[in-house]
Amino acid sequence: MKTKFIFITGGVLSSLGKGICAASLGRLLKSRGLSVTIQKFDPYLNIDPGTMNPFQHGEVFVTDDGGETDLDLGHYERFIDESLSKYNNFTSGKIYGSVIEKERRGDYLGNTVQVIPHVTDEIKDSIKKTLITKTTDIVITEIGGTVGDIESLPFLEAIRQFKKDIGKENVLYIHVTYVPYLKTSDELKTKPTQHSVKELRSIGIQPDIIICRSEIKINDSIKAKISLFCDIEKEAIINAVDAKHLYEVPLSLKDEKFDEIVVSKLGLKCGKARLSSWIKIVNTINSLQENVTIGIVGKYTNLKDAYLSIIESLNHGGYYFRSNVEIRWINSEILEENAGMNEVFKDINGILVPGGFGIRGINGKVSAIKYARENKIPFFGICLGMQCAVIEFCRNVLDLKDSNSSEFDPDTKNPVIDIIPEQKNIGNLGGTMRLGKYPCRLIKNTKSFSAYGTELISERHRHRYELNNSYLKQLKNRGMIVSGIYEEKNLAEIIEIKEHPWFIGVQFHPEFKSRPDKPHPLFKSFIGAAIKNRSL
Ligand code: GLN
């Protein structure tokens, strides 16, 4: 079968959940036996979100091949259960960067380089790059931003041209809009949708399907109205009413026959949607029994998007135990001021210290870890969280009071976390980290080994600093062992404390590989330990 391309644009407002619509469509099509990949175009000028403030932009999602990408890729992976690549996310910065590089190399043979055709050609090539690693039946491409934004124009022009290039039978345009509900007149209003579609048509794109996001259900007469004004048959107007949680969206879109209309419009030959494992997980989510409370000690605690994949992974662990994970946000900077720890951690069943960069709040994280270690509260350290656990252990158990990471104190006498020699002398901040997947061998008879139940694992990384091997012996003598290593470079990937109910720190980011119906082994095991701790 020839690959089909589906483009998803957004109108009226941002934050409509285009990413979730794309991910849900991916799930529905995959469940019909089709192979699917999902791509996102982000119209901003940064090369990638790697150097962007997570407070503004949310987490940086890392792919197996080391791409630093938009958090929507996390939704895509969790919904379609496929590992995506760096080719699944392009920004305007990356597109323009590559055009300018070609210009400097003389690839354009002296021609004037212009948005049309050079930038649009680059965008069209980038759509096809999703097929480099694996050919799929379907490529879904989400265009970030809202129709009418100046910066997304080249992308819209490119997808307009794309249809002509590869044949109209191979392309589908889906437009996601908002239908507001006016309480005072008890009415749903279609005008913003009409305007948005008009705007899209003015640049030459006639949507094939409209997804109407709304607070309350849209009735048939509203659909008929949108159908009339936007020139789209009523069956292709799909209502996505506010869902209780993300994972319900594929099912509610299926109720609206979204997958059927996509399949029929593209003439796809495939089976019926088989969603039993997804339905099972949604039923579980809707009937969670008890609460388990996890304290997350971090810097960006007032922006949930900065820790999106961690929150999702904790939830996945909770689903396994039919427990609702309640998250308590603890600002590490407050802990630095020697807050009453018992009060702060009252009713908290497990403590998680996530990844991060920079010295702010470090001592607060170290104090939280000391509290978890001494009070036998399940502790999970991720990347920077693992590094802080080592610093804490060295300071308070090995009594090396000035232990630090050379990231925070380059002159410390005890750089227990340090940069490995081959990484030194790299000045440029963008893209200079240990990024993407690395193999890790687990040591038998450890908690990590029993959580994974296998010896060889692969996890994704995003960091510069590593545990300094010259301290391994001392750590081991006092009870902190390395339970996972990257053998080729002899790097410690996992540490744990033997004499503690559950104390694990990982140098990688396990949160990128958890799925709602396949919780990551460490998150599952951590939530299990927190539940046990709650019942003590
Ligand atoms: N700042 C630390 C490093 O670069 C940890 C990074 C992280 O937590 N992602 O090694």
Q: Please work out whether the CB of residue 181 comes within 6 Å of at least one atom of ligand 1.
A: no
* Ligand 1 site-directed mutation target among 382, 419, 432, 463, most atoms within 8 Å of CB: 463
Considering the domain architecture, whether residues 420 and 360 belong to the same structural domain is answered as: yes
Mean pLDDT computed over 149-165: 96
What's the pLDDT band for 337 if we cut at 50, 70, 90? low
Considering the domain architecture, whether residues 238 and 360 belong to the same structural domain is answered as: no
Per the structure, the complete domain to which residue 250 belongs is given by 4-281
Considering the domain architecture, whether residues 312 and 266 belong to the same structural domain is answered as: no
Residue with CA closest to ligand 1 atom 6: 463
Considering the domain architecture, whether residues 412 and 479 belong to the same structural domain is answered as: yes
Helix (H, G, I), strand (E, B) or coil at 84: coil
Considering the domain architecture, whether residues 332 and 255 belong to the same structural domain is answered as: no
412 Cα: distance to centroid of ligand 1 (angstroms):
18
> Higher pLDDT residue, 145 or 428?
145
Mean pLDDT computed over 418-425: 71
Q: Please work out whether the CB of residue 383 comes within 6 Å of at least one atom of ligand 1.
A: yes
* pLDDT attached to residue 424: 60
Considering the domain architecture, whether residues 143 and 223 belong to the same structural domain is answered as: yes
348 Cα: distance to centroid of ligand 1 (angstroms):
25
Residue type at position 304: K
Considering the domain architecture, whether residues 482 and 406 belong to the same structural domain is answered as: yes
pTM greater than 0.85: yes
Give the CATH number for residue 441.
Answer: 3.40.50.880
302 Cα: distance to centroid of ligand 1 (angstroms):
20
CB 521 within 8 A of CB 397: no
384 Cα: distance to centroid of ligand 1 (angstroms):
5
Length of the chain: 536
Considering the domain architecture, whether residues 232 and 156 belong to the same structural domain is answered as: yes
Q: Please work out whether the CB of residue 463 comes within 6 Å of at least one atom of ligand 1.
A: yes
Residue with CA closest to ligand 1 atom 5: 384
Share of the chain above pLDDT 90, in %: 87
* pLDDT attached to residue 57: 84
Domain boundary among 265, 281, 297: 281
How far apart CA 58 and CA 310 sit, in angstroms, is 12
Q: What are phi and psi of 60, to 5 degrees?
A: -95, 120
Strand spans (E) along 59-128:
61-62, 68-69, 89-91
Cis preceding-peptide flag for 117 (omega within 30 of 0): yes
* pLDDT attached to residue 211: 97
* pLDDT attached to residue 232: 96
Q: Please work out whether the CB of residue 384 comes within 6 Å of at least one atom of ligand 1.
A: yes
Considering the domain architecture, whether residues 292 and 277 belong to the same structural domain is answered as: no
Q: What are the residue ranges of helices labelled H in 305-452?
A: 308-320, 332-335, 341-344, 362-374, 384-396, 447-452
How far apart CA 439 and CA 499 sit, in angstroms, is 27
Q: Please give the positions annotated as active site.
A: 383, 509, 511
DSSP string, 263-305: HHHHT--------HHHHHHHHHHTT--EEEEEEEEES-TT-GG
Radius of gyration (C-alpha) of the chain in whole angstroms: 25
Q: Please work out whether the CB of residue 462 comes within 6 Å of at least one atom of ligand 1.
A: yes
How far apart CA 196 and CA 297 sit, in angstroms, is 42
Q: Please work out whether the CB of residue 138 comes within 6 Å of at least one atom of ligand 1.
A: no
Tokens 């640049």: give the residue. Answer: 203
395 Cα: distance to centroid of ligand 1 (angstroms):
19
How far apart CA 92 and CA 42 sit, in angstroms, is 6
Residue with CA closest to ligand 1 atom 1: 357
Mean pLDDT computed over 455-459: 98
Mean pLDDT computed over 31-60: 91
How far apart CA 221 and CA 219 sit, in angstroms, is 6
**Within a 10 A sphere around the Cβ of 295, how many other Cβ atoms?**
26
Considering the domain architecture, whether residues 445 and 339 belong to the same structural domain is answered as: yes
**What contacts 304, CB < 8 A, 6 or more positions away?**
311
Mean pLDDT computed over 421-450: 80
* pLDDT attached to residue 205: 97
* pLDDT attached to residue 338: 64
* pLDDT attached to residue 335: 82
How far apart CA 239 and CA 253 sit, in angstroms, is 7
Helix (H, G, I), strand (E, B) or coil at 15: coil
Residue with CA closest to ligand 1 atom 8: 355
CA 509 to ligand 1: nearest atom? 9
Element (H, E) at 353: strand 350-353
Mean pLDDT computed over 261-273: 96
Domain boundary among 281, 301, 328: 281
**CA 416 to mean position of chain CA atoms:** 30
> Higher pLDDT residue, 136 or 57?
136
502 Cα: distance to centroid of ligand 1 (angstroms):
22
Give the CATH number for residue 237.
Answer: 3.40.50.300
Element (H, E) at 7: strand 4-10
Q: How far apart are the two ends of the chain, measured CA to CA in Å? A: 57
Strand spans (E) along 194-264:
209-214, 237-241
* Ligand 1 site-directed mutation target among 297, 384, 407, most atoms within 8 Å of CB: 384
Q: What is the pLDDT of residues 354-390, one digit of tens each?
A: 998 988 889 999 999 999 999 999 999 999 999 999 9
Considering the domain architecture, whether residues 145 and 43 belong to the same structural domain is answered as: yes
